[in-house]
Structure 1
Amino acid sequence: MTLKEVADLLNCNVLSGEDDLDKIAVESVGASDLMSDVLAFGSPGMLLITGLNSPQCVRTAAVVGACGVLVVRKREVLDNTVKLAKDLGMPLLYAPTSMYKACGVLYSQRLKDARELNG
C-alpha cells in the first residue's frame, strides 16, 4: 500500500510530501505517543501514527527511517512541525480521527504491525 492510498482511505490532509505519496510504500505501521517506544520498535518503511503534533514526532520518524508520519485526533499540527517535515523531506499527514480508528482501518488492509516485526 502507498502513502497516497493511506491518505485516501483516512481522508487525510497532506501537510508535507504531497508530490511523492504515490511512490512511497508503507511496509508496516506503528502507533504511539511515546517517542521512546518508536525508537525501540521503529523501522525503515514504517508509517508512524501519533497524537503528537510537535516536531519531535517528525525527528523520531526520521531517525528510525519511517516512510511518513500520520498525526491523528483533532489537534492542529504546529507550524514548526510542518516546516521540519518539509525540511527533512518527511511526508506528514493529518486525519481528524482517533488513533484507534486509523489503526483499525489500516489493519483491515492487512498492513503489518511494526512491533511484531521488530519486537
Structure 2
Amino acid sequence: MKVNEIIGILKAQVLNEGNLEEEVKTACGSDMMSDVLAFVKDQSVLLTGLMNPQVVRTAEMMDMHCIIFVRGKTIDPAVVELARQKDITVLATPYRMFTACGLLYSNGLRGGCDIS
C-alpha cells in the first residue's frame, strides 16, 4: 500500500509531505513510545494519539516513514517541523486509533506480527 492510498482510506490531512508514493507494508498503533521501541520490528507506519516530539524521534530511530496522528487532535507545529527535518510524512486523521487501524488492516496493511 502506498502512503497516498492511506490518505484516502483515513480521510487524512497531510501535515508534512514526504514521499507519498512510498510503499508501506506494515503499521503499528500505540500511544506508548516505550512499547514501540521495545516491541515493534520493521514497521513503516506509526499511528498514535501522542502529540510530542518524542513521537518523531521514535519514528526516526525505528526507521518509520510515516506518522499518523489519530483522533483529530491539533498537532504542535514544532512536531511537524521536526518531522519535516527528518523527512517523515505526517498525516492527521479524524478517526480514533481502533477505527484507523481497522480501516488500514481491512485494506491490506498488516501489523507484521503474524502468529503461526
Which amino acid is the alignment partner of residue 2 of structure 1?
A: K
- 1:57 equivalenced with 2:55 (yes/no): yes
Which amino acid is the alignment partner of residue 113 of structure 1?
A: G
Return the TM-score normalized by structure 2.
0.91
Distance in 2 (alpha carbons) for counterparts of 1:41 and 1:109: 24
Distance in 1 (alpha carbons) for counterparts of 2:43 and 2:87: 14
SS for the counterpart of 1:112 is coil
Query: For residue 2 of structure 1, what is the aligned residue in structure 2?
Result: 2
**Structure 1 unaligned blocks of 5 or more:** none
Q: How do 1:61-76 residues align onto structure 2 when only pairs under 5 Å count?
A: 61-76=59-74
Alpha-carbon displacement from aligned partner over 1:51-84 (angstroms, at most 9, x marks no partner):
0111111110110011210000121011110010
Return the TM-score normalized by structure 1.
0.89
**Structure 2 unaligned blocks of 5 or more:** none
Alpha-carbon displacement from aligned partner over 1:30-58 (angstroms, at most 9, x marks no partner):
00000011112333452000001111111
Query: For residue 12 of structure 1, what is the aligned residue in structure 2?
Result: 12
Which amino acid is the alignment partner of residue 9 of structure 2?
A: L
| Superposition CA RMSD, Å | 1.4
Distance in 2 (alpha carbons) for counterparts of 1:96 and 1:53: 14
Query: For residue 21 of structure 1, what is the aligned residue in structure 2?
Result: 20
Give the number of aligned pairs. 114
SS for the counterpart of 2:84 is helix
Which amino acid is the alignment partner of residue 7 of structure 2?
A: A
Distance in 2 (alpha carbons) for counterparts of 1:53 and 1:25: 25
More moved, 51-60 vs 39-48: 39-48
Structure 2 contact 2–23 (Cα < 8 Å) conserved: yes
Query: For residue 37 of structure 1, what is the aligned residue in structure 2?
Result: 35
More moved, 41-50 vs 68-77: 41-50
> Going by fraction, where is helix more abundant, 1 or 2?
1
Distance in 2 (alpha carbons) for counterparts of 1:113 and 1:76: 26
Structure 1 contact 43–66 (Cα < 8 Å) conserved: no
Moved over 6 A (4+): none
